[in-house]
Structure 1
Amino acid sequence: MADEQSEVPDSTAVRVALWRAMHVRVDSPPHVIEDEIGLRLAAPDEGWRRRPDMDPRGTSGFRAAIVARARFIEDLVAEQAGHGVAQYVVLGAGLDTFAQRRPEIAARLRVFEIDQPGTQSWKRRRLIELGYGIPDWLRLVPVDFEAGADWWEQLSDAGFDPDRPTVVACTGVTMYLTKDATAATLRRLALLAPGSTLAMTFMLPAALVDDADRPALEATEPQARAAGTPFISFYAPQEMLALARDAGFKDVHHVSGTVLAARYFADRTDGLRPSSGEDLLLATT
């Protein structure tokens, strides 16, 4: 059992949750996604909006990119649930709140959230404290990645059926993993039942990032390193597509940040746009 000190969410996961709440609080409607539940879970200090990484203008591109990828994933899950897919796996779930915000969809699925034991213990406690509880269709799956635990085995123990089509989301994770670890994850996921779908984000090399966004991206690298979560791996789109094909996925597609910007921000008049630097792999078995 994780002790009290380790029962805390990852600082990166908290930042993502706060950016999602900032989108609701400082950006003009229509909001790409409405999520203040993550803020309630995190319960930061009163002055959280004065944090440097919460600067409304300076971090607007990152904030927009976070809500764009979240909306894309949720649209995908809703679409697949409509086609009868009944399992949804979130790798590196952090403070994901899909189950709490979209119960009309989530309750039709079995949702598996995978993360470190300390994060999962903390999240379980906070969901109960806030009155959301843990419905039977939501499985919080603790996996001690640092100790080399087998997440696939833990997932199966939690009731996952590998013979049923599944949607898997893995966002904000691959930059912290070695390329060998990501390739191994892809090979495991390519064994999912036919009709399964994976959405996985990856960071672009600096040379492929828009000139206007490059300084901000480069500034985050030493911050990530200081926080103990250094960026390890970057991928050109074709490299990520090749990894997925080699792993055994039947169809692979690159979804660029530009595509997400056009889909979710085209009609905005406030200038809010996602920063470049993170794209998506969409792969099916």
Structure 2
Amino acid sequence: MREGEPSRTAFGSAVHRAVHQDLDGGRIFRDPLAWQILGIDREATLADPAATERPRLRVFIAARHRFAEDTLATAVERGTRQVVVLGAGLDAFAYRNPHAETRVFEVDFPATGAWKRDRLADAGIAVPDSVTYVGVDFESDDLMSRLVEAGLDPTAPAFFLWLGVVPYLTWEAVTATLMAIASVPSGEVVFDYTTPTHQLDAKALSDRTDLIARVAEVGEPLSAGVETEALHTLLADLGFGEVEDLGRPQIRARFLGRQAGSETGGAHLLRARASA
């Protein structure tokens, strides 16, 4: 993060979500507010190779939102009424939330949250009474304390959307956040993570190298990646009894309708649910 500025990577992810609505017809994930919340020239953006030349990343970003919101819908059916969006960036879920019975807590760095509220006002997007903003530094603040101060009931189930954040955090910060989520009865989370570069094939390594350079230029460097086995061990130790981890083959099959293939490494989508 740069002091007093919104996250550059959050803005970039929002651009990919918006472009997906046009170039891919929103076939994986539809977001009617994707362009509106950005406030940028649609035609100019679609004509800019920098915004359109990375289809694999664009599809992955669409898939992680689809996976997260499908999983959330199931949690709401079970009775979950608290939703926490960690590292909210320019995510528009809270403003098109189809689950009227839920309360949404948007958590982000204070600079990003303040900038987003200004952007929403400029775009004419109404903020529902059910939305609460919570400023948190994931590397130094106690997440659960901040959420409880904002009104979260720590004795009731909660669902956490944690998208596009873990790849930028230290292992210590990831562990602390998962501990906080596990402390909530039936706490459930969907997040994405990336495996270390030594596990990537040539194409994935090329994509990762390019991404590493891009985000480093804007002062938001990626972490070294997470070993899947170590992550699963951590989740089990923390009491997450249900874990669903989608690698590239499973993402291809579920969201693109293609053969799974045998690729390993790269970006993963993960769902974990703690015991009641």
TM-score category of the 2 structures, normalised to the smaller one: 0.7 to 0.9
Equivalent residue number for residue 65 of structure 1:
60
Q: Distance in 2 between matches of 1:130 and 1:226?
A: 28
What amino acid sits opposite 1:83 in the alignment? R
Checking the alignment, whether the CA contact within 8 Å between 2:194 and 2:225 is kept in structure 1 is yes
Checking the alignment, whether the CA contact within 8 Å between 2:95 and 2:127 is kept in structure 1 is no
Q: Distance in 1 between matches of 2:203 and 2:138?
A: 36
Alignment partner of 1:77 is 2:54: no
Alignment partner of 1:178 is 2:177: no
1:71-126, Cα deviation, whole Å (9 max, x unpaired) = 0001011111111111111111111111223x322x22111110011111122222
1:25-44 → structure 2 map (5 Å cutoff): 25-27=22-24, 29=25, 31-44=27-40
- Of 107, 112, 130, the residue aligned with 1:114 is 107
Equivalent residue number for residue 266 of structure 2:
277
Alignment partner of 1:140 is 2:136: no
Q: Distance in 1 between matches of 2:265 and 2:230?
A: 18
Equivalent residue number for residue 271 of structure 1:
none
CA-CA distance at 1:45 after TM superposition? 5.3
- Of 151, 167, 188, the residue aligned with 2:159 is 167
Q: Distance in 1 between matches of 2:35 and 2:112?
A: 15
Equivalent residue number for residue 272 of structure 1:
none
Q: Distance in 1 between matches of 2:151 and 2:242?
A: 27
Q: Distance in 2 between matches of 1:67 and 1:91?
A: 17
Checking the alignment, whether the CA contact within 8 Å between 2:95 and 2:126 is kept in structure 1 is no
Equivalent residue number for residue 17 of structure 2:
20
Equivalent residue number for residue 51 of structure 2:
54
1:121-270 → structure 2 map (5 Å cutoff): 121-145=114-138, 148-193=140-185, 195-266=186-257
Aligned residues: 267
TM-score normalised by structure 1 residue count: 0.85
Percent identical residues? 32
Checking the alignment, whether the CA contact within 8 Å between 1:14 and 1:95 is kept in structure 2 is yes
Q: Secondary structure at the match of 1:19?
A: helix
Checking the alignment, whether the CA contact within 8 Å between 1:21 and 1:34 is kept in structure 2 is no
CA-CA distance at 1:30 after TM superposition? 6.1
Residues 203, 267 of structure 1: CA spacing in aligned structure 2 closer, same or farther, 3 A cutoff?
Answer: closer
Checking the alignment, whether the CA contact within 8 Å between 2:103 and 2:131 is kept in structure 1 is yes
Runs of 4+ residues deviating >6 angstroms: none
Checking the alignment, whether the CA contact within 8 Å between 1:13 and 1:94 is kept in structure 2 is yes
Q: Distance in 1 between matches of 2:62 and 2:116?
A: 21
Q: Distance in 2 between matches of 1:246 and 1:228?
A: 33
1:162-216, Cα deviation, whole Å (9 max, x unpaired) = 11111112121112111122112212221111x2211121111223334332212
Q: Distance in 2 between matches of 1:276 and 1:165?
A: 32
Q: Report the aligned-residue RMSD.
A: 2.3
CA-CA distance at 1:48 after TM superposition? 3.1
Q: Distance in 2 between matches of 1:220 and 1:209?
A: 14
Residues 36, 16 of structure 1: CA spacing in aligned structure 2 closer, same or farther, 3 A cutoff?
Answer: farther
Q: Secondary structure at the match of 2:6?
A: coil
Q: Distance in 1 between matches of 2:134 and 2:34?
A: 18
CA-CA distance at 1:51 after TM superposition? 4.3
CA-CA distance at 1:276 after TM superposition? 6.5
Checking the alignment, whether the CA contact within 8 Å between 2:105 and 2:131 is kept in structure 1 is yes
